[in-house]
Amino acid sequence: MSFNLRYKPFGERSILIEWPERIDENILQDIIRFKDQIYKNNIKVIVELKIAYNSLLIIYNTVCRNFENDVIFLKKLYKTLKIEHDNVSNRWKIPVCYDSIFGIDLEAISKEKDLSVTEIINRHSKAFYTVYFIGFLPGFLYLGGLDKTIFMPRKMSPRLKVEKGAVAIGGNQTGIYPNESPGGWNIIGNSPVSFFDMNKEVPCFANPGDQIIFQSISFNEYKNIKILVESGNYQIESEVIYD
């Protein structure tokens, strides 16, 4: 699929490329393909290449003296993208404990949605989520694929302290807080897995285009996995998926 892209200068050294403004897996795949192509073929030195739902930002190490020329180059490069693409990604199985110890907003969502707590957990843990990008906090995954019936507006006043590992719903999104931080999302559980590991050369295991599934675990299982994670002996279950 080929999209109608918009190219905008963004400061002295950057070009912002925008896709239609929506959350769409076809757009994500197109952005990833274009990003890889720019990595491989660009003739100018790039200091940063980052993506979000419908955008790609290129920051060069020198001032863009001729924006039009840079855009012509990028447009040509975009045309060379192959539609078929051997897309290999990972599907990660993330253990989540939805016990009331952690799921402090489950009752409130249950009341609001007129669904039992068990049903909310079912709907949250049966979906396949797509990783769109990482942002907001180090290791925070922007996930698409939340069941519409459990969309829940952000809290009116954010909590000053949300625990590390908190699994939460904010509007039409769900996510995991990689570290303790303030936050306004509704907390439904906690994952013992580390989403941001400073001991690793690449601090995040998941990449844009990967899939995430949540597996409901008991509090005892949570404690056992937590011990393994902390001693560096926990291996997240994953499988390779081919598109």
Contact residues for another protein (CB under 8 A)? 8-14, 16, 18, 21-23, 47-55, 57, 59, 67, 133-140, 142, 178-179, 196, 198, 202-204
Nearer to another protein, 34 or 222 (CB): 34
Nearer to another protein, 108 or 204 (CB): 204
Name the minimum Å distance from CB 216 to another protein.
Answer: 26
Q: Are 145 and 128 in contact (CB under 8 A)?
A: yes
Nearer to another protein, 165 or 178 (CB): 178
Alpha carbon 32 to chain centroid, angstroms: 13
Name the minimum Å distance from CB 89 to another protein.
Answer: 15
Name the minimum Å distance from CB 66 to another protein.
Answer: 11
Nearer to another protein, 9 or 216 (CB): 9
Nearer to another protein, 16 or 117 (CB): 16
Count of alpha carbons within 13 angstroms of residue 49, beta-carbon side: 14
Count of alpha carbons within 13 angstroms of residue 179, beta-carbon side: 10
Nearer to another protein, 138 or 234 (CB): 138
CA 172 to CA 42: how far, in whole Å?
36
**Paired residues of 56 in beta bridges:** 17, 51
Secondary structure class of 228 (helix, strand, coil)? helix
* Degrees, nearest 5: CA angle 237-206-137: 130
Name the minimum Å distance from CB 59 to another protein.
Answer: 7
CA nearest to 241, candidates 205, 194, 209, 208: 209
Name the minimum Å distance from CB 214 to another protein.
Answer: 20
Name the minimum Å distance from CB 227 to another protein.
Answer: 23
Name the minimum Å distance from CB 230 to another protein.
Answer: 17
Nearer to another protein, 139 or 192 (CB): 139
CA 171 to CA 74: how far, in whole Å?
35
Residue whose token pair is 């490329």 = 17
CA 211 to CA 87: how far, in whole Å?
13
CA nearest to 3, candidates 29, 41, 36, 38: 29
